[in-house]
Amino acid sequence: MTAGYELQALWAALVLYVIAGSVAIFGVVLRRKPERAVLALLFLGLALHTASIAMRWERIGHGPYITMFEILSSNIWSLLLVYTLAYWRIPAIRPTAAAVMPIMFVMMGWMLMSNPYDGHAPSTYHTIWLFIHIGFAKVFMGTVLVAVGISAIILLRQSRYHGGRFTRLPDDKRLDELSFRFMAIGLIFESLMLIAGAIWAQDAWGRYWNWDPLETWSFLTWLFLIFSLHLRVAYKTTPRTSALLVMAVFILAFLTFFGVPFISESPHKGAV
Amino acid sequence: MIWQWISKLASLKFTLVVLVLVGTGVIISYRSEGTTTWALALPLFLFSLNLFAAILTNPVFRRQMPLLMFHLALIAIVLLVAVGRLSYLKGRIELAEGEEFSARLAEVEKGPWHWGQLDQVSFSNEGFTIEYAPGVQRGKTVNSVRWRDEQGTEKRGVIGDMVALSVHGYNFYTSHNKGFAPIFTWHPDAGGPSVAGAVHLPAYPRHEYSQAQTWTPPGSKSNVWVMLQFDEVILDPEKASEFRVPTEHKLVVRAGEERRELGPGESIRLPDGVLEYNGLRSWMGYTIFYDFTLPWLLASGVLAVGCMAWYFWRKFSVRPWN
Amino acid sequence: MEATLQENPGARRLVAGWLKFALGALALSTVFAMLVVGTRTPLLSGFAFAKEFFRSALVLHVSFALTVWFFVCAAAMWTLAAGGAGPARRAALALAYAGAAAMTVAPFVGTPLPVLSNYVPVLDSRIFLFGLVGFVAGVALCGAAATGDIVRRLKADPHDVWRFGVLLSIAAMAMALVSLAASMKTTGVPAEQSGFELLFWGPGHLLQFVHTLLMMTAWIVLGERVLGGAVASQRWLYGLLLLAALPILAAPIIHILYPVEGPEFRRAFTSIMTWGSWPAAVLLATRILLQMVRAGRAAWSKPEALPLGLSILLLFIGCIIGASIRGETTMVTAHYHGTVGAVTLAYMGLGYYLLPAFGFSTSGGRLARWQLSLYGTGLLLLAFSLAWLGSMGALRKTPHSELAAQSTMAFSAMQLGGLLSLVGDILLVVCIMRSTRQRGDSGAEKKQPQSRSRDVRLRALALTSSLVVMIGLTVMYLPTWLNASPEVKRSEDARVAHVQEKTDAEIRLRFEQGVAMLNAKEYEHALTAFHRVLQLSPSLPEAHVNTGFALIGLERYAIARDFFESAIELRKDQLNAYYGLAMALEGLKDIPGALGAMRTYVHLAPAEDAYRIRAEAAVWEWEAKLTEERDKTLAVKKAGTAVR
């Protein structure tokens, strides 16, 4: 029965997200600023989503980090949480919702196609380091998402399609600076994530680093982020280039977190 | 002249090249099977050169303490990893229940300067259980062990999935590798003492259908093949269960022409002695890990992140976010 | 005082170096104090590492708070008084730094034994001892190098009375070192606790004179500032300082007269402290206080009034508590927290006072006042609560927190006091660092261009390496949270055996301490020790006997008799109980009783018993006495009847 409520809450949350995203997109297209409405819808959606995750957690005894369905759900939740907080506190980035929400739509669609079965948590998951590691990872992804939204605006502006819609936003340099700040915060959290992951790995598997696929790809993401920051300083890149770099980081991170665990056979998934 | 070289080495563009090389080294490490310290050692060495040169020449490092400290912490990490690779040890050993650790590891990988005291480690496996959730999903491992600490006091404790035994700097972790171990006593005809030993059958439940092993008793010329047979379902796909030794089982023993099914206490006569079967126990595979640089590695990592945060804080608080 | 800093940048840098050192030492001692406090709380003392570390942490806390902090402040004062710089002085500073660094590292290398010797607790480890020697050598070198200049300046300007105080403190230090050398001739390099105790007894006492003299010096400077004029006439001040220093002259006499291991040596130095350390300071304090009261608001509103007042208050409290010391209880701890607090506060006040002379802004008034008040209040609380606990019999130097149950109030007050003073210490560091960031416009420094950025590379390297080491050590020593360790199964028997073992160890320790005190004729201290033994082992006849002897030493014969009687009840043939009983009864003038007891002793004692002769003599004497009295009584009776 509770599985029913849990899914209903999730559906409701998704609907609210979709409405919020649609309103944001229409706002940009029609040159309006429905920012309050979007914020309210996002908060409401998050509240319902939180309830759904909580109910599921209570029911199956472990958090949303085992199956693909759960991981997508919790990542949508955390990405939107970070994004909504930024949306709320930094009005300059609000128009980016029109770019960010479509990405979330893709994830939501994927989630709905996944099997919501109840997974089993391996015994190495019963530790506080799981929460610390995952927590840092989620903040990292969230901040990168905000930067992606900003970068999308920068790129859209320079394309043929903008039609002067983004003129009321701060100029490119300012946007670029803002995007850089979010990437910097992302870097901090990604570094913390790597450290916490190593601590967890040492306790769980007896070694802190083994170049398994997930470790390797997350390190490459980190390295690429460092590379793009140094590139920015060395060549004084234009906002457009920086925006492209941000996109690249996001794609890399996305592939790392969502691709690798499910295509590899390695023990990073927990063994029998 | 030298100064110009150093300035070249210090350039950010060189840093970018180095970063790409590091990435390449990483991919090489990832794809190759064995240890590949060298693929990374060169890029990291270049990284250190680049950074040292930058510290010497780049004015930004003269003024910005947090940025410099972050990079210094990175160097500390590189150095510590290097030291760690020179002195580490990774190994595996399987111990049957009741068996004492001896420093003969099944598999060992160690750095050239590993000078640890593995032979001073005294520990024994006192038996374990592993919980399984329905659907043969492995749960918690609970392994009782007995060991002597650095002062020589005997201690008993419980280790498991996230809890390792740490003694003399070596960490012993239980693993998912475990199985059954029939215990034999070999009474040689030629006189000489009887020797007791455990034969480790292939891991269970991974090799559920091939629980057989061949070996030669010490000092004998006969090859003995044993196979474990039992009917009961130990790990039940339908409900929660526990890894344990089966209560009823048969051991099929074949040596040369002879084939017997033994129960506990029974023996089989071989050309050069009597092999007595003493019963079935379990064995656990342990991974052993030694790396004394860990605390400092963690410290450097945490310091690096702290300095990074400090640097960005200072930078970003100059102008408002909005 | 500031003039020296303003005229000579080399001197200024040297003094700054010593002062930074002092601040660091205070910070380190704070860290160790936190560990001491932590391991005494009922909560944390359950951890295994706590008990082992308590004694090491205590040693390091006292080392850095007393030995290092005070010596470094002293060296700063000496350098300040001398003015001038020079390679010898710089070498002294470097040597002292190196020594202190070695001391800090020592507890983490191997498992050194903490030796809780009085005045100068040490870790019995080569690294620590070498570090200590190096540090003291550096300080001594500083003093030696400074003496000439101080004398010269004093001759040139005798109005600067404070220089005289500094000079006398160097003399006291020299005397302490001489005493150390003399003691070492007897003890050699000590191998265990009693050796260290003997070695440091003399010098340890003499060092307190160094600190007292410098405290008085600081008072004179601060007092001048507060009162806007001299504290007292030059002659008076010279006289007081001489009076404060005079007792150190007794030291060579004591060394010549008495052997180092004897009880007279011990008592002689204790007497110097008991009678010689406070009069001059108390006189000066009273004078300053009276002047301040007379000056009224004008004096009290000066920023230096707070540290001066607090320092004087703590000295008074410390002295009063010192007068109430009756054994090895926490009363002793309370006493020296009071006096140490007084000296530290004086130094803190002086430090704030000197900041402008270095070119820094006078530190933010409010925070500094809070800092001083918190620190002072914390120490007052500590002193009071420790005194309270001491009056209830709490013993020094143990981590056992049963007293917390006995008197939660006192214990909590102690913890609170400790906490406040630690916060005060941390705030001092904060205050000083804050003011060093804001350069004041005192015009003392050569004006440097505002935008000059300092080269941070070396500092970054030093900071990074030390942080990595420190955090790494913390990770290594922090149990369980980062390094999950196996739950160790203990059997009931093992636990019981462990407790029994620890109790036995303490019984042995206290018993030995008591016997040592008995031999040294320190009866009060002996009593304290034997009381503890009896607490732990109420039916140990030897403990009853020795308690009785201690009581005899204190001439409390009635209670002594009771103890001897209970010893005999516990064991019929407890030989020395009869001897003691006889002495107790003699003290109570019960000669027949004494005779009976002594006869039993003679009867039971083996032929070669050492006291046999004395016992027989006593028997003979008392028999004679009783016979004499009987004859007298009979004679009187006869006379009486005759009359009738």
Model pLDDT for residues B300-319, shown as the tens digit of each residue = 999 999 999 999 988 888 88
Asked if C460 lies within 8 A of B162 by C-beta distance, the reply is no
By C-alpha distance, which of C465, C467, C428 is closest to C23?
A: C428
Higher pLDDT, C293 or A158: C293
Instruction: Label residue C247 by pLDDT band (50, 70, 90).
Output: very high
CB C108 within 8 A of CB C249: no
- Would the ipTM clear 0.85, i.e. be above it? yes
Per CB-CB distance under 8 Å, the chain B contacts of C461 are: 72
Distance CA B235, CA A251 (A): 42
Asked if C460 lies within 8 A of B65 by C-beta distance, the reply is yes
CB C387 within 8 A of CB C379: no
A67 at the B interface (CB within 8 A)? Answer: no
Residues B239 and B119 in one domain: yes
Residues B148 and B268 in one domain: yes
Question: What would the pLDDT profile of C512-565 be if each residue is shown by its tens digit?
Answer: 888 888 888 888 888 888 888 888 888 888 899 999 999 998 888 988 999 998
Please give the C-alpha separations between residue C513 and each of C499, C520, C526, C546, C554, in angstroms, as whole numbers: 21, 10, 7, 11, 18
Residues B176 and B206 in one domain: yes
If one counts the domains in chain A, the total is 1
Measured between CB atoms, which of A120, A122, A187 is closest to B308? A187
Res. A98: pLDDT tops 60: yes
- A126: domain CATH number is 1.20.120
Please give the C-alpha separations between residue C308 and each of A46, B182, C209, C430, in angstroms, as whole numbers: 61, 82, 19, 21
Res. C481: pLDDT tops 50: no
Q: How far apart are the first and last CA of chain A?
A: 31
Indicate whether B322 belongs to any domain. no
Instruction: Label residue B108 by pLDDT band (50, 70, 90).
Output: confident
By C-alpha distance, which of A247, A38, A234 is closest to A147?
A: A247
Per CB-CB distance under 8 Å, the chain A contacts of B15 are: 230, 234
Check residue A254 and give its pLDDT: 92
Distance CA A115, CA C95 (A): 71
Check residue C445 and give its pLDDT: 39
Question: What would the pLDDT profile of C581-638 be if each residue is shown by its tens digit?
Answer: 999 999 988 888 888 888 888 888 888 788 888 888 888 888 888 888 888 887 777 7
Residue of C49, C452, C454, C456 for testing the chain B interface, max B β-carbons within 10 Å: C456
Section B220-240 average pLDDT: 86
Sign, CA torsion C630/C634/C640/C641:
positive
Q: Name the minimum distance, in Å, from the CA of B174 to any CA of chain A.
A: 9
Per CB-CB distance under 8 Å, the chain A contacts of B305 are: 188, 191-192, 195
Question: What would the pLDDT profile of A195-217 be if each residue is shown by its tens digit?
Answer: 999 999 998 888 888 888 889 99
Asked if C459 lies within 8 A of B65 by C-beta distance, the reply is yes
By C-alpha distance, which of A13, A91, A4, A79 is closest to A45?
A: A13
Check residue A39 and give its pLDDT: 93
- Touching C: B residues 115-174, CB under 8 Å: 144-145, 155-159, 162-166
Residues B248 and B180 in one domain: yes
Check residue C644 and give its pLDDT: 46
- Backbone φ and ψ for C327, nearest 5 degrees, come out as 165, -175
Res. B269: pLDDT tops 90: no
Res. C441: pLDDT tops 60: no
CB C118 within 8 A of CB C200: yes
Higher pLDDT, A169 or B29: B29
Res. B167: pLDDT tops 90: no
Residues B80 and B152 in one domain: no
Check residue C385 and give its pLDDT: 87
Higher pLDDT, C37 or C602: C602
Indicate whether A217 belongs to any domain. yes
Lowest mean pLDDT among C60-64, C143-147, C249-253: C60-64
Indicate whether B162 belongs to any domain. yes
Asked if B62 lies within 8 A of C457 by C-beta distance, the reply is yes
Task: Report the percentage of chain C scoring pLDDT > 90.
Answer: 25
Section C447-459 average pLDDT: 61
Instruction: Label residue A3 by pLDDT band (50, 70, 90).
Output: low
Section B264-285 average pLDDT: 88
Residues B236 and B148 in one domain: yes
Check residue C11 and give its pLDDT: 83
Asked if C487 lies within 8 A of B158 by C-beta distance, the reply is yes
By C-alpha distance, which of A246, A212, A249, A17 is closest to A111?
A: A17
HEC assignment per residue over C205-253: HHHHHHHHHHHHHHHHHHHHHHHCCCCCCHHHHHHHHHHHHHHHHHHHH
Question: What would the pLDDT profile of C146-167 be if each residue is shown by its tens digit?
Answer: 998 889 888 888 888 899 999 9
Residues B267 and B157 in one domain: yes
Residues B173 and B230 in one domain: yes
Higher pLDDT, A81 or C479: A81
Section B64-81 average pLDDT: 92
Instruction: Label residue C399 by pLDDT band (50, 70, 90).
Output: low
Res. C578: pLDDT tops 70: yes
Higher pLDDT, C113 or B49: B49
Res. C478: pLDDT tops 90: no
Residue with tokens 């029939």: B182
Q: How far apart are the first and last CA of chain B?
A: 48
Asked if B171 lies within 8 A of A191 by C-beta distance, the reply is no
Check residue B302 and give its pLDDT: 94
Lowest mean pLDDT among B188-192, B203-207, C594-598: B188-192
Check residue C64 and give its pLDDT: 87
Section A19-44 average pLDDT: 88
Please give the C-alpha separations between residue B10 and each of A226, B306, C450, in angstroms, as whole numbers: 17, 24, 29
Check residue B233 and give its pLDDT: 84
Section A239-249 average pLDDT: 94
Indicate whether A231 belongs to any domain. yes
Section C358-380 average pLDDT: 83
B68 at the C interface (CB within 8 A)? Answer: yes
Section C251-274 average pLDDT: 87
Measured between CB atoms, which of A192, A220, A272 is closest to B136? A272
Indicate whether B188 belongs to any domain. yes
Residue B178 belongs to domain spanning: 90-289
Distance CA C294, CA A21 (A): 78
Residue with tokens 């111990």: B95
Section B5-18 average pLDDT: 87
Six token digits for residue B228:
């474990």
Residue of A87, A120, A212, A269 for testing the chain B interface, max B β-carbons within 10 Å: A120
Check residue C333 and give its pLDDT: 87
Residue A235 belongs to domain spanning: 122-269
Measured between CB atoms, which of B26, B138, B302 is closest to A219? B26
Distance CA B225, CA B273 (A): 15
Lowest mean pLDDT among A71-85, C95-109, C252-266, C353-367: C353-367
Sign, CA torsion A38/A44/A47/A50:
negative
Task: Report the percentage of chain C scoring pLDDT > 70.
Answer: 88
Say which residues have a Cβ less than 8 Å from residue C475's Cβ, sequence separation at least 6.
Answer: B294, B295, B296, B298, B299, C482
Indicate whether A77 belongs to any domain. no
Section C207-228 average pLDDT: 93
Section C292-303 average pLDDT: 86
Res. C75: pLDDT tops 90: yes
Asked if B289 lies within 8 A of A230 by C-beta distance, the reply is no
Indicate whether A52 belongs to any domain. no
Indicate whether A128 belongs to any domain. yes
Lowest mean pLDDT among A104-108, C55-59, C276-280, C524-528: C55-59
Six token digits for residue B232:
């009961």
Q: Name the minimum distance, in Å, from the CA of A119 to any CA of chain B.
A: 10
Asked if C475 lies within 8 A of B298 by C-beta distance, the reply is yes
Six token digits for residue C548:
């009785």
Section B206-220 average pLDDT: 86
Asked if C467 lies within 8 A of B299 by C-beta distance, the reply is yes
Lowest mean pLDDT among C177-191, C330-344, C408-422: C408-422
As a whole number, the mean pLDDT across chain C is 83
Indicate whether B321 belongs to any domain. no
Residues B192 and B226 in one domain: yes
Indicate whether A103 belongs to any domain. no
Check residue C449 and give its pLDDT: 41
Residues B78 and B164 in one domain: no
Instruction: Label residue C451 by pLDDT band (50, 70, 90).
Output: very low
Asked if C467 lies within 8 A of B298 by C-beta distance, the reply is no
Per CB-CB distance under 8 Å, the chain B contacts of A196 are: none
Indicate whether A235 belongs to any domain. yes
Asked if B162 lies within 8 A of A124 by C-beta distance, the reply is yes
Section C31-47 average pLDDT: 64
Res. B98: pLDDT tops 80: yes
If one counts the domains in chain B, the total is 2
